Structure 1
Amino acid sequence: MSSSAGINEPINFAKAFGFNSLAAAAVFVGLYVPLFALFVFKSFKIPTYVHYVLSFFCLIRIAAFTLRIVLTASESAGENIGILIADEILFGVGFFGLLYSAYTLVLDLESLSDRPSPTNPIIRLTQNRRMFRLTLLVAVVIGVVASSLSSGGSSDSTSSVLRKASTAIFLVLTVLQAFQTIYLAQTRISEPELYKRAQKSFGARHGIFILVLISFLLLIREVFVAATIDDHVKQNNEHFWYPLLVVPEILAVILYAIPGLVPSKEDLKGEELKGYGDMKMVAIHP
Structure 2
Amino acid sequence: MSAFPLTQAEIDAFIDAAFAEDIATGDVTAEATIPADAMLTATMNAREDMVIAGLPLVAPIVHRLDPEATLDFLVKDGDKVPAGTALVRMTGKARALLSAERTALNILQHLSGIATLTRTYVDKIEGTKARLLDTRKTIPGLRKLAKYATLMGGGVNHRMGLFDAVLIKDNHIAVAGSVTKSVEGAKAHGQAKIQVECDTLDQAEEAIAAGATSLLLDNMTPDTLRKAVALNAGRVPLEASGGVNLTTIRAIAETGVDFISVGRLTQSAPAVDIGLDWG
Larger strand proportion of the pair: 2
Larger helix proportion of the pair: 1
Calculate the TM-score normalised by the size of structure 1: 0.24
Calculate the TM-score normalised by the size of structure 2: 0.25
